[in-house]
Amino acid sequence: MERKELSTEGLPDSWIAKMREAVLLADFDLVEKLVNEIASQDALRAQKLINLAEQFDAKALLRFLNRPNKPTRKNS
């Protein structure tokens, strides 16, 4: 079974900035609120982020937020 790595691909820069600030301030209530904003787009990614927030794993959340976006491939 392939384990998909968390990615910021497709997330707005403004959301990433708000999320980074919330993590740096250790405002995990805001982190959860921000994650819920993207849950309808990608429930699996949102659940993984909620799990990290519930563990207060700021290091893992910052690694996710600092990972460069991979360009989206389009099939021709």
Tens digit of pLDDT for each residue in 28-54? Answer: 999 999 999 999 999 999 999 999 999
pLDDT at position 69 is: 64
In whole angstroms, give the CA distance from residue 23 to residue 43: 20
- The answer, yes or no, to whether residue 66 has pLDDT greater than 50, is yes
Domain ranges of the chain: 27-66
pLDDT band at 61 (very low <50, low <70, confident <90, very high): very high
Q: What is the DSSP string of 33-57?
A: HHHHHHTTT-HHHHHHHHHHHHTT-
pLDDT at position 72 is: 41
Q: Which helix (H) or strand (E) holds 66?
A: helix 58-66
